[in-house]
Chains A and B, each alone.
Chain A
């Protein structure tokens, strides 16, 4: 720059010359040069991103219209290029909005809405169009038919990157076999190297959107993902911003736009979760920041030698001795009743004393008299009355020093000696005395300055340290006894344009405890549907899911959900598969940079019965872990929306959600292990005991004993046994359930009998079907207890017992 400076005089036109080459850049141009920011950094990835953007849009559109999504994706080879076709059954787009949706970046309905949706910025699909025109030079071909219209609209368009506006080359009406929906066809330079990611994306989309039907046809393969439910995700509602999540600029804009007159009305109207009470708290917090608090001093005690009544009497003239005394006593009593009193509190006390005495004595106490009384008492309270050494405490200090000494002494560590504290209190009192505003009104920041100054002086002169914690503690203690002032907050129009006051308001809102934002703006998948989605796409033995309550991060509510699938056909080798989702959109790239992956890695999976080499990192084994973060504003690490940023509040919830699901997994695995053990024991004993029985029979020379009962006992099993006894023409049947386990068991027993049973026990029912009688009995049998079902049948009847409700490992049936 120095070279320009030196030649400035010679060439006066240089600045103009430079200015000429400066011009604004359209957002489209910017992204043209920065494709990677949107996920179009390579041909392989570009194709996946384009599919993703188109499918996300299609799902959003259909859901918003209350239509169960039916989406078709096709990828064709087209010479040197690939052709991508995405069709949906959404509501379609109008002739006016369609070109802008596809041909203008940053055009969308959601950016300003606080509501959960897949797309947010309105960049995605138009960026795909832009990418396609850049690489293939061909326009996007879009067909859309709105519900009820007889014809469809057909457009061919590109993005005019200079203007960031759609440039339509063909516009015509056409026919289309779908009753409503949108079809987009893009040609682009691409390759199928990322087929794996593409399949993952479609499959994962199917998992978290069990209500959607998806079809993917690519040159080599064809997948169909059918619906698992007809239940659409719950509709979300837009919410007003939460006071904890807004910035100063936003509030200033809102102040300019609001219809409210008062601050209280403004915060109640424009923000969510703010009612009258919360508004009052916000305003109190605002007063503290904007006006400051007033110091409340201790009223004098008997030995203080301060006579407030006398001071009032001195200050009151011409009101008659009786009324004057009554007035003075009333004030002195009111002050003495308080633990501490601030200037505005004194004001009130004098007002009420004046009115009371007026009513009793008929003497009028005018404004001047009242003001004089307030001044006299206040000056006495803060030791500023009359000459300097007139009224002093016993040890020659002002009352303020003694008061502050006590506060500081309580607030600081016991290691500081009295001398130090005293010196500090003396200096701090000095700051109060020097205040111009003798009401002793100051903000916390000013109080902090006072304390710092007093502490610095104490450190300097008394050569002791007065550290940060001690200072903060003193500020806290003093601020605590100070009183919020009753001043009316400014009106909205006064605030509007007052940056400092608005900033105080924003601070006040942040400092106030406010209930978390409502969650109707969010649409979690729900535990049942997560399980359904996992069951649909993974053939596992066990599924668990957890949906957490909503949390808040930066004013945006969010919900975390987790699901786990284990065993079955999942590959037992290698690490667990982690599926990440944000607002129901699968995250395919940048797994390592994602908060979800970080959390999964920090969990000690060994505690949950999984194999985790080294005790950290991803667990090994046949496991799929899915995590869904739903928020009105998911914090991504970049515009391409591949990874969730490490926000502590969200990370905590992710961890809790995973742990919740993992606990279920643990109890499943434990149970499975104990069943395995039981099976093993049963296998070994099943071999040993019969051999022992045979040997015993051999040694004793008897028949082989019946060992089933003994085995059932040993295995703590539930034994269901039929006993038959001849009974006249027929036979009496009893089915005995013997519960040898340590828990109560509920059984469902069905005995299929070939002849009609009679004299059936009360607790059972019988149904006839095609000449067979189904005796149904559902006993509850306590630990070490027995239950019996009895009935009678003719001699020639046959039976078939079917027992449910007890694990097969625990069951012995004898019939």
Chain B
């Protein structure tokens, strides 16, 4: 959050505009190339152990009316971001979308928020600057954290030292939008347990799981925000904590694990910065459905499609996942985390998690 950093980000953006300028001057058609953001264009980076974009590029070119509009919007957005950095302000993605309504040029206004979100992603990739460094926030802030961790956060109102068990309420510590403003002071946790649903997180807190097992509970809140993934990555890298992920037993939840461990398709350019390839999947595994005789729901058509598309997703092409996904397709069933309650409210903390974590070698 240094002024230097801001200045650098701003220069990168202006360089991008200068690139368009030079293209005009050379009589070239203004254009901008970005990697294609589809699952067909992500590949495994062996050095960094994460999934990154491949060589396929999409070109946004002023050759067509659509392309020209896109570039015009890009230039307007660049101006806005540069101004924002200069004034040390920040805004949310949604604010950017509404803000475009105030631009003098109707052609430059966004027609929906997907368009403005996509454009910000384009600019991140092309300029090599992250959204956070543009001072762009998502609407919902990061999720929460609970466990034996003592940290210091730089806030706009000064530094705060917080213990994530003792200084917080039942809700836990709120992960800030840019977790790089945090310094870790002291940590007694043995591992990180990232939990998909709020209900399960509350169950673990109520049962005192964090206390009993020295676990750092990270609430993913569905698809984890970048801040959540970033802090997980930092906790793993800097404090050497093993990361485990506990979700529902359905294809959508496997993707949540995937984005923690391997990075998401839309932010593959940031995988190195967000993904924790060492993260392990606890469950619910399709195998658990059989082993623990869990109550189930049948797979819907879209579940089956999602599973089949995961079989083709390069991120899931491991023996473990192929076996689990094929087993689930055979079973034709899925289970939620809460289904464990069919064996009693303490079953998850007293039986399931200890058994799975031992199996996985976490303790």
Contact = CB atoms under 8 A, between A and B. Distances in A.
Contacts of A222: none
A687 B108 CA distance: 12
Interface in A698-728: 698-700, 702, 705-707, 709-710, 713-714
Contact of B27 (A688, A693, A700, A710): A710
B28 A695 contact: no
B213 interface: no
B62 interface: yes
A699 B68 contact: no
A699 B72 contact: no
Contacts of A702: 18, 21
Given A698-B79, A705-B21, A714-B63, A692 B27 contact: no
A787 interface: no
Given A684-B65, A699-B82, A713 B21 contact: no
A692 B79 contact: no
Contacts of A688: 62, 65, 68-69, 72, 107
Contacts of B28: 710, 713
Given A696-B17, A696-B21, A700-B18, A710 B75 contact: no
B363 interface: no
Interface in B280-296: none
A449 interface: no
Contacts of B27: 709-710, 713
Contacts of A706: 24-25
Interface string A668-694: 000000000000010011011101110
A254 interface: no
A317 interface: no
Contacts of A707: 24
Nearest to A699: B17
A356 interface: no
Interface in B24-65: 24-25, 27-30, 62-65
B14 A692 contact: no
B20 interface: yes
Contacts of B78: 699
A691 B178 CA distance: 35
B105 interface: yes
B125 to A, nearest CB: 19
Nearest to B27: A709
A691 B105 contact: yes
A692 B65 contact: no
Given A699-B82, A710-B29, A692 B63 contact: no
A697 interface: yes
B305 interface: no
Secondary structure of the B contact surface, majority rule: helix
Residue in B20, B27, B105 with the greatest tally of chain A CB atoms within 10 Å: B27
A699 B79 contact: yes
A713 B29 CA distance: 7
Contacts of B18: 696, 700, 702
B352 interface: no
Nearest to A709: B27
Given A713-B29, A714-B62, A689 B68 contact: yes
B213 to A, nearest CB: 54
Contacts, number: 76
Given A710-B29, A710-B62, A705 B24 contact: yes
B18 to A, nearest CB: 5
B68 A685 contact: yes
B111 interface: no
Interface string B313-343: 0000000000000000000000000000000
B23 A695 contact: no
B76 interface: yes
Contacts of B65: 681, 684-685, 688
Contacts of B71: 692
B82 A710 contact: no
Contacts of B14: 699-700
A731 to B, nearest CB: 23
Given A685-B65, A710-B62, A696 B24 contact: yes
A90 to B, nearest CB: 64
A709 B323 CA distance: 58
A692 B72 contact: yes
B71 to A, nearest CB: 6
Max count, chain B CB within 10 A of own CB: residue among A688, A692, A705: A692
Interface in B1-33: 14, 17-18, 20-21, 23-25, 27-30
Contacts of A687: 107
Contacts of A685: 62, 65, 68
A699 B75 contact: yes
A808 to B, nearest CB: 20
Nearest to B64: A681
Which residue, A689, A700, A702, A713, has most C-beta atoms of chain B within 10 A? A700
A700 B24 contact: no
Nearest to B68: A688
B63 A696 contact: no
Nearest to B104: A691
Contacts of B24: 693, 696, 705-707, 710
Contacts of B62: 685, 688-689, 692, 710, 714
B29 A697 contact: no
A118 to B, nearest CB: 57
A697 B68 contact: no
A692 B29 contact: no
Contact of A697 (B21, B64, B76, B105): B21
Contacts of B105: 691
Contacts of B69: 688
Contacts of A697: 21
B62 to A, nearest CB: 6
A688 B72 CA distance: 7
A699 B21 CA distance: 10
A700 B17 CA distance: 7
A683 to B, nearest CB: 10
Nearest to B20: A696
Given A713-B28, A714-B62, A695 B68 contact: no
Contact of B25 (A695, A699, A705, A713): A705
Contacts of A713: 27-29
Interface in A200-242: none
A695 B69 CA distance: 13
A710 B68 contact: no
A688 B71 CA distance: 9
Contacts of B20: 692, 696
B200 to A, nearest CB: 48
Interface string A388-422: 00000000000000000000000000000000000
Nearest to A680: B65
B74 to A, nearest CB: 9
A329 B82 CA distance: 115
B83 to A, nearest CB: 10
A689 B27 CA distance: 12
B72 A710 contact: no
A742 to B, nearest CB: 13
Contacts of B25: 705-706
30 contacts: A681-B65, A685-B68, A687-B107, A688-B68, A689-B62, A689-B68, A691-B72, A691-B107, A692-B20, A692-B62, A692-B68, A696-B20, A699-B17, A699-B75, A699-B78, A700-B14, A700-B21, A705-B21, A705-B24, A706-B25, A707-B24, A710-B23, A710-B24, A710-B27, A710-B62, A713-B28, A713-B29, A714-B62, A714-B63, A714-B68
CB-CB nearest 4 A-B residue pairs: A709-B27, A705-B24, A699-B17, A695-B75
Given A705-B24, A713-B28, A714-B68, 18 more contacts: A685-B62, A685-B65, A688-B65, A688-B107, A689-B62, A691-B107, A692-B68, A695-B79, A699-B17, A699-B75, A699-B78, A699-B79, A700-B14, A709-B27, A710-B24, A710-B62, A714-B29, A714-B62
Interface of A: 681, 684-685, 687-689, 691-693, 695-700, 702, 705-707, 709-710, 713-714
